């Protein structure tokens, strides 16, 4: 088996190591392919489909984060079909999820000329914000189900398995097993899930309290009170 494969991406000849994904092959040629669910610290899962590219001879668009580069491939990353697919994905996300704190996705909306009101009658995901621990809040109205938090909580980093998927279809959501409050799970509050969240659905609690208008002194007093209550238990 050859150690490298050669292909063309947007007309550019590219040579990469065998087994490299199309996403990495494009990056090596200086070609930017947009992503949401992909993160270099997480196992690629191709959930968001924003990174799709068109491969000559393939019936379907290929998710570049998991599709392997092959000898002789001819790949288009900005064909009309690809751009239409990405635009629709972004418009559908925006119709259902609060992206107000996701600047990268907002920029992608602008880059692909996505219509923010294309689906005005779409159902919105509006679960209540969960403030059940002293470290971070969970605002799943902002969650795009990228799975990053679940992955870093599991085999990709922490091996804690405090987070999981629940539900099906539109009602799919991230949560804890048996919907337990976070302090009653195996969570060790390492913060890695917060660090990889692309939309601020997971946010440090102090940052959230500041945004809610609390002063640093008020936050400190709240923290002391919560610690005293915890000791009494």
Rounded to whole angstroms, the Cα distance separating 111 from 119 reads 19
Structural domains of the chain in order of their starting residue, each with its CATH number: 1-124 (3.10.20.740), 136-232 (3.30.70.20)
Residue pLDDT, tens place only, 120-130:
999 999 999 99
Cα angle 108-112-117, degrees, rounded to a multiple of 5: 90
CA-based Rg of the chain, rounded to a whole angstrom?
A: 21
* CA distances from residue 100 to 54, 167, 199 in whole angstroms, order as listed: 30, 25, 8
Question: Residue 169: its pLDDT value, please?
Answer: 87
E runs forming strands in 113-201: 136-138, 163-166, 173-176
Question: Residue 231: its pLDDT value, please?
Answer: 59
Query: Among candidates 97, 2, 112, which has minimal Cα distance to 50?
Result: 112
Question: Could you tell me the pTM of the whole model?
Answer: 0.90
Question: Residue 228: its pLDDT value, please?
Answer: 65
Residue pLDDT, tens place only, 148-199:
999 999 999 999 999 998 888 888 999 999 999 999 999 999 999 999 999 9
Question: Residue 190: its pLDDT value, please?
Answer: 95
Rounded to whole angstroms, the Cα distance separating 7 from 73 reads 5
Give the chain's residues under pLDDT 50: none
């Amino acid at each position: 088996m050859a150690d490298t494969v050669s292909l063309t991406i947007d007309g550019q000849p590219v040579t990469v190591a065998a087994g490299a994904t199309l996403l990495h092959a494009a990056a090596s040629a200086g070609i930017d392919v947009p992503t949401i669910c992909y993160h270099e610290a997480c196992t690629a899962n191709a959930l968001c489909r924003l990174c799709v590219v068109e491969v000559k001879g393939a019936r379907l668009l290929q998710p570049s984060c998991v599709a392997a580069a092959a000898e002789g491939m001819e790949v288009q990353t900005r064909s009309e079909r690809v751009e239409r697919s990405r635009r629709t994905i972004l418009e559908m996300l925006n119709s259902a999820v609060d992206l107000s704190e996701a600047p990268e996705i907002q920029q992608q909306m602008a880059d692909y000329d996505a219509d923010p009101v294309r689906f005005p009658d779409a159902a919105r995901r509006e679960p209540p914000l969960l403030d059940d621990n002293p470290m971070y809040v969970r605002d799943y109205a902002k969650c795009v189900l990228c799975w990053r938090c679940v992955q870093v909580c599991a085999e990709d980093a922490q091996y804690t398995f405090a987070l999981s998927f629940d539900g099906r279809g539109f009602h799919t959501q991230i949560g804890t097993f048996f919907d337990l409050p976070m302090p009653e799970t195996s969570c060790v509050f390492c913060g890695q899930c917060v660090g990889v969240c692309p939309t601020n659905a997971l946010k440090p609690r102090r940052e959230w309290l500041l945004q809610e208008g609390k002063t640093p002194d008020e936050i400190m007093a709240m923290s002391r009170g919560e610690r005293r209550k915890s000791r009494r238990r």
